[in-house]
Amino acid sequence: MDIAFIGQFAPLYIKALWLVLKLCFLGSLFSLIAGLFCAVVRYFNLPVLRQITGAYIELSRNTPLMIQLFFLYFGLSRIGVKFESWTCAVIGLSFLGGSYMAESFRGGLEAIGKAQIEAGLSIGLSYPQLVRYVIMPQALAVSIPSLGANVIFLLKETSVVSIVALADLMYVAKDLIGLYYKTNEALLMLVVAYLIVLLPISILLYIVERRIRFAGFGC
C-alpha cells in the first residue's frame, strides 16, 4: 500500500466528495418536493394529474439513472436542448428520486386511519386544516425511515454521474487507476470517502427513527 500516493491524491477525493454531497442535497431536496406533490395528487385522486404523476412514477422507477442521464446530456442536445453536466446530474437524481419519495409519502398517507379524518371533520376542522394538523404530521412520521433510505440510495446513485463528465468520487478513482495503475490505493480511498458520508447519515437516521417510534408517532 503506497501511503505517499494516498496522501498526495486524497485532496482530489475531498473535492469530489464535496461535489457528491452538493449533488445529493439538491437531488434529495427536489425529490422530496416532487414526491410529496405526486403522493398528494394520488392520495386525493385528483383527475388528470393522477394519470400524469402515475406515468412519471412508472417511467422513473423503471429506467436506470444512467439511461436518464444519457438522454438528458446526449439525447436532448440532438434537438438543440443543452444542459451542463451539473444541471443534468441534478435533474437526473431529482427525476429518479421523486418517484421513490412519492411511494414513501404515499405509504405514510395511507397509514392514516379514516377514523382520524372523520374525527377531525366532526370537530369542525376545514379540509386544509385537517391536512396540515392531522394527516401530514403523521404521514411524515411514518415515512421518515423510507425517506431516509431513499436519501442514502440517491447518494449511492451519484456514482454514475461521471458519464456526463462530472468529477465525482468514481470519476476520480477511475482516473487515478488509469493514470497510475494504483488500483488498491484508489479503491481504498473511494470506499473510505463513501463510508465517511454514509455512516453518519445512517446513524443519524437511525436515531431519528428511534425517537419518533418511542414518541409514539405514526402509531
Counted domains in the chain = 1
Closest CA to 217 of 142, 136, 114, 148: 142
- What is the number of other CB atoms lying within 10 angstroms of the CB of residue 78? 8
- Tell me: pLDDT of 218 over 60: no
| Dist CA 85 CA 72 (whole Å) | 9
Give the single-character DSSP code of 112. Answer: S
CA distances from 208 to 2, 45, 100, 213 (A): 40, 31, 20, 9
**Average pLDDT, integer, range 45-74:** 90
- Residues 163, 155, 11: CA angle, nearest 5 degrees: 75
196 grid coordinates: 465517511
Torsion of the alpha carbons at 168, 56, 40 and 23, rounded to the nearest 10: 10
For 152, the domain range is: 3-215
More confident residue, 5 or 87: 87
Q: What is the band of 30 on the pLDDT scale with cuts at 50, 70, 90?
A: very high
- Tell me: pLDDT of 134 over 70: yes
Torsion of the alpha carbons at 21, 23, 28 and 30, rounded to the nearest 10: 150
How do residues 183-213 score in pLDDT, each as one tens digit?
888 899 889 999 988 888 888 888 887 777 6
CATH of the domain at 9: 1.10.3720.10
Closest CA to 70 of 163, 169, 165: 163
Q: What is the band of 130 on the pLDDT scale with cuts at 50, 70, 90?
A: confident
- Tell me: pLDDT of 219 over 50: no
How would DSSP label each residue in 13-65? Answer: HHHHHHHHHHHHHHHHHHHHHHHHHHHHHHHTT-TTHHHHHHHHHHHHHTS-H
